[in-house]
Amino acid sequence: MNTVLIIGAGGVGHVVANKCAQLSDIFHEIHLASRTLAKCDAIAEDVKARTGRDITTHAIDADDVEATTALLRTVKPKLLINVALPYQDLNLMEACLQAGVHYMDTANYEPLDVAKFEYSWQWAYQDRFRDAGLYALLGSGFDPGVTNVFTAWALKHHFDEIHTLDIIDVNGGDHGQAFATNFNPEINIREVTAECRHWENGNFTTTPPMSLHQTFSCPDGIGTYEIYRMYHEEMESLVKHIPTIRRAQFWMSFSPNYLKHLEVLQNVGMTRIDPVVYNGVEIVPLQFLKAVLPNPGDLGKTTHGKTCIGTVITGIKDGQFKAVYIYNICDHEECFREVGSQAISYTTGVPAAIGARMILEGKWGGKGVFNMEQNDPDPFMEELNLRGLPWTCIELTEEQAKSLTVTK
């Protein structure tokens, strides 16, 4: 029996639970756990109403390895789907090793007290997962995740060598709030305010956050947006596993309103991740800010517009220059109608469910710790088209690729 345990009951967990429940022939038994049982119960109730499927819920502190191991041994899942906080990745990997359960997540581990994003901590588990005969899949969201698979698929079908990679994440949605983040505010703001790193000529080069930007016009009439270069973890694994890449950059769109609010919050110290003492109590300003900002999981009702996430890839094929743009466009309102979530949660949750399917069906597997691009991209790409994230691949001229111009 294919039993899965989903840990995390936020916006992404909501989508993962619904998308797994839609495939009763693959996901035979679904369990959902989080620190707050009421959140799990609310998701289970929604899934029941939409699909008729029952989900078993549990309360768990994912920081507690012993308790999580005990839950895994009780539930006996084939796979743990981790959509909890990235601070908890290592503890959940540890519990999987102790209980003998395969593991997957959607984002790399981050230390709680340092805004540092890299795979080294999780890659260090390679030998232990290999020796245990277990499979750990890292980063099965959209970026990281689908963007890795787009790149691997392009290498398999369009290139002999990939030389440059530009990952471009545009959210053309409007949630109607004065200021809100589209996923966990704490993680979002840590990521955006961190130093930028991009890969060039064999090294990561560091630049100030948000210091390089340009306009980008999305295809299919989505619109024109200002995109900012920043660091994202998939670059680290992609340049390792596709060593012909000479330059890799990640770009994300931000509205002037978002940047204005963020600047003010930074200037008054609200984005700090070190504790301060207030009335004799230690609080972390960014964690307090998260508590007062709108919950991203509640934004689906008011969000309209579309996302456009894709990769501009250049390289050579048969000795000739070649460039492609592979992208997905996702509609916030359509996502809400299907699963009750906005497109940011949807574009992360759907790939997580697809990655889980790849593992349960044996299409992806092995012993050790793997990133997305190390697997066969074809079945995953096929599932994207079937499960709500259809993609398009177009060829670009050299000038288009250089200027990141993907429209005519």
* Token pair listed for 169: 């994440």
The DSSP symbol for 384 reads H
CATH class of 146-330+390-403: alpha beta
pLDDT at 212 > cutoff 90: yes
pLDDT at 106 > cutoff 70: yes
Residues 119-139 as b or e (16 or more Cβ within 10 Å = b) = beebbebeeebeebebbbbbb
Contact 345, 124 (CB under 8 A): no
The pLDDT tens digits for 6-59 are: 999 999 999 999 999 999 999 999 999 999 999 999 999 999 999 999 999 999
CA distance 108 to 211: 24
User: Which of 67-81, 168-182, 280-294, 385-399 has the weakest average pLDDT?
Assistant: 168-182
**Environment class of 186 (CB within 10 Å of its CB; exposed 0-12, middle 13-18, buried 19+):** buried
Sign, Cα dihedral of 339, 345, 348, 353: negative
Residue boundaries of the structural domains of the chain? 146-330+390-403
Question: 3-state class of 59 per DSSP?
Answer: strand
Q: Once rounded to an integer, what is the mean pLDDT over residues 282-300?
A: 83
Question: 3-state class of 63 per DSSP?
Answer: coil
**Environment class of 78 (CB within 10 Å of its CB; exposed 0-12, middle 13-18, buried 19+):** middle
Give the model's pLDDT for residue 268.
87
Higher pLDDT residue, 68 or 1? 68
Give the model's pLDDT for residue 191.
80
Mean pLDDT of the chain: 94
74, 106, 75, 110: which is closest to 91 by C-alpha?
110
CA distance 214 to 359: 39
Q: Once rounded to an integer, what is the mean pLDDT over residues 285-289?
A: 87
190, 183, 185, 151: which is closest to 168 by C-alpha?
151
pLDDT at 181 > cutoff 80: no
The pLDDT tens digits for 152-167 are: 999 999 999 999 999 9
pLDDT at 273 > cutoff 90: no
pLDDT at 187 > cutoff 90: no
Higher pLDDT residue, 21 or 190? 21
62, 146, 141, 150: which is closest to 106 by C-alpha?
141
CA-based R_g, the chain, Å = 20
pLDDT at 114 > cutoff 90: no
Model confidence at 183, in pLDDT bands (50, 70, 90)?
A: low
Model confidence at 182, in pLDDT bands (50, 70, 90)?
A: low
Model confidence at 83, in pLDDT bands (50, 70, 90)?
A: very high
Give the model's pLDDT for residue 386.
98
385, 370, 353, 364: which is closest to 15 by C-alpha?
353
Report how far apart, in Å, the C-alpha atoms of 199 and of each of 76, 232, 398 are: 41, 11, 20
Q: Once rounded to an integer, what is the mean pLDDT over residues 217-237?
A: 95
